[in-house]
Structures are given as structure tokens and as C-alpha cells.
Structure 1
Amino acid sequence: MAVELDPQLMDILACPSDDHAPLRAGTPGDPSADVLTCTSCGRGFPVVDGVPVLLLDEAIMPADPPDSGVVGV
């Protein structure tokens, strides 16, 4: 089941990490997952009974970290 949150709520939700990046519904591999994914750090935040759990301690770390932009390290 895909995350279905009010579009206005999605406009104001942000990752609780220091970068405060916007969130998107689903994951890159499963757009219908009940997860909100940070567009910057890639952490996934579960949505339980329609309520996003935006706690860093509960976040699902990405399998592949986002590209850091550093080449040849």
C-alpha cells in the first residue's frame, strides 16, 4: 500500500536530520512502500497507521548511501 498523505502536509514535512531535506513517498526501489524517504540522505521513515514516524532512531538507513559528489577518493 502506498503512502497517502495530504499534499499540503507533504509540502511541509522534512527529514529531521540537520539538512532538513524534503521527503518523498516510497523508496527508490519500491514507490508503493509505506515509507517516506529523505531526498538528501536517503533515510526511510516508516508510516504506521497513516502517521509518519519522523525519528532518527527509527529511520531505515539506505542500502546505498547517496552520492557524495567526491570523485577519486
Structure 2
Amino acid sequence: MDKKLLDILACPLCKSPLIYDKSKQELICKADRIAFPIRDDIPVMLEDEARELTNDEVDALKK
């Protein structure tokens, strides 16, 4: 994921910054507890495509 692109992307729901999870190819919004997929190097920033984070995933983000 391009660092410059990541710097300008924000959650489409709450406008919070996103965290890039390279291993899962997702952009994570901690505020809304959702993850947006990245497919073929393109972030899919649609609410319908996002998945809810598990409690374990949210706890891991706090560390």
C-alpha cells in the first residue's frame, strides 16, 4: 500500500484515520471497529464490503 495514499485515506463513515494491516490486506477503522478489504491493490471503501472486527482484533489494536 502506498504510504502517500494511506496518509490521505480516511474512514468513509466517521472520517477517522485508517490502519493498514498488510498480512490481511485490509484498512482498519478503530473507531467503527470495521475493516475494509484491499483487492488488487485497490482499497474497497464501501460500507457493504467492510467486515466487523472481532473483540480479539480490537484488543490487539489497543496494544
TM interval, shorter chain, is: 0.7 to 0.9
**Which structure carries more strand by proportion?**
2
% same residue = 39
TM-superposed CA distance for 1:41, in Å, is 1.3
Question: Aligned with 1:8: secondary structure?
Answer: helix
- Over the aligned positions, Cα root-mean-square deviation in angstroms equals 1.7
Structure 2 unaligned runs (5+)?
59-63
Q: Point out 4+ residue stretches in structure 1 off by more than 2 angstroms.
A: none
Aligned pairs, how many? 57
Structure 1 unaligned runs (5+)?
67-73
The equivalent residue for 2:30 is 39
Choose which of 5, 8, 14 in structure 1 pairs with 2:4.
Answer: 8
TM-superposed CA distance for 1:39, in Å, is 2.7
**Which structure carries more helix by proportion?**
2
